[in-house]
Amino acid sequence: MATSLATIHALGLLTCFALLGTSRIGACIRWLSLQGILFSLVPVLTYDDGLTLRIILLAGGNIALKGVLFPLVLLHLRARTNYHREVEPFVGFVASILFGVVALAVSLGLARELQPALSHAPFLMLEAAIFLVSIGLFLIVSRRNALMQVIGYLVIENGIFVFAVITVVETPLLVELGILLDAFVAVFVMGIAVFHITREFGTADVDQLTTLRG
């Protein structure tokens, strides 16, 4: 179990770095899908009582939403907005990757501080959760394209999911599914918003939103 958690952890970190270093939106969406699937497997590996119905629903629902449905919605949106690249991010790609390394070190330190309070949580996943949240926030503030910001939001959502799974052992299934539903609605609302923005302004570049047209 420890090895498979470590493998998920390493692969998950790599998807984050791929998101930081890729300019093509389509590739980013696919990395996001892989990341969603990887971290959906965390409850299967961390809960000791085997494959209960609850865990299957939780992991399956996550994979269906974050691994399949959200990427499909985003890919569809990308095709509609005809916007395929993050051309000029506020922070360059090399600098973003270097930020990722620093963020990884910082989240390692934070996870060390948190570990005594959450002694039953696997350390690797604690660190991954903090790292995912910081990378998602960074993507939101450093990218111009509205689609990349939706991707950043979903990375944060992945982080929160991991954190919830490892820290709160007995979350009612209803609450978990409720959170999933929230994310689902949020992605749809954001998708509609991005679509309308591109139709009104002719671009998904959020920097252009200040140029109002009457």
Partner 1 sequence: MPELNAFLSPLCALVVAPLVLGIINRTKAFVAGRRGPPLLQPYRDVAKGLRRGAVYGEATSALVRLGPVVNLGALVAGLLLLPFASVPAVIAFPGDVIVLVGLLALGRFATVLAALDTGSSFEGMGASREVHYAAMAEPALLLALATLTRVTGASSLTAIYGGIGVSTWGHALPTLALVAMTFLVLELVENSRIPADDPTTHLELTMIHEVMVLDHTGPDLALIQYGAALKLWLLGMLFVGLVVPLHGGNLWLDGGAALLGMAGLALVIGVVESAMARYRLVHVPQFIVGAATLSAVGFIVLLV
Give the single-character DSSP code of 88.
S
47 binds partner 1 (CB under 8 A): no
Q: Residue 141 corresponds to which amino acid?
A: V
Q: How far apart are CA 48 and CA 91, in angstroms?
A: 42
Give the single-character DSSP code of 209.
G
Q: Which is nearer to partner 1, 22 or 158 (CB)?
A: 22
Q: How far apart are CA 192 and CA 206, in angstroms?
A: 15
Residues 146-175 that bind partner 1 (CB under 8 A): none
Which among 148, 134, 17 has a CA at the least distance from the CA of 78? 148
> How many residues sit close enough to partner 1 to count as binding (CB under 8 A)?
22
For residue 169, the minimal CB distance to partner 1 (Å) is 21
For residue 102, the minimal CB distance to partner 1 (Å) is 10
For residue 208, the minimal CB distance to partner 1 (Å) is 25
Window 102-141: contact mask with partner 1 (x via CB under 8 A): --xx--x--------------xx--x--------------
93 binds partner 1 (CB under 8 A): yes
CA end-to-end span of the chain: 59
The three-state (H, E, C) secondary structure of 166-186, written as one string: HHCCCCCHHHHHHHHHHHHHH
Residues that bind partner 1 (CB under 8 A): 3, 6-7, 9-11, 13-14, 17, 21, 93-94, 97-98, 100-101, 104-105, 108, 123-124, 127
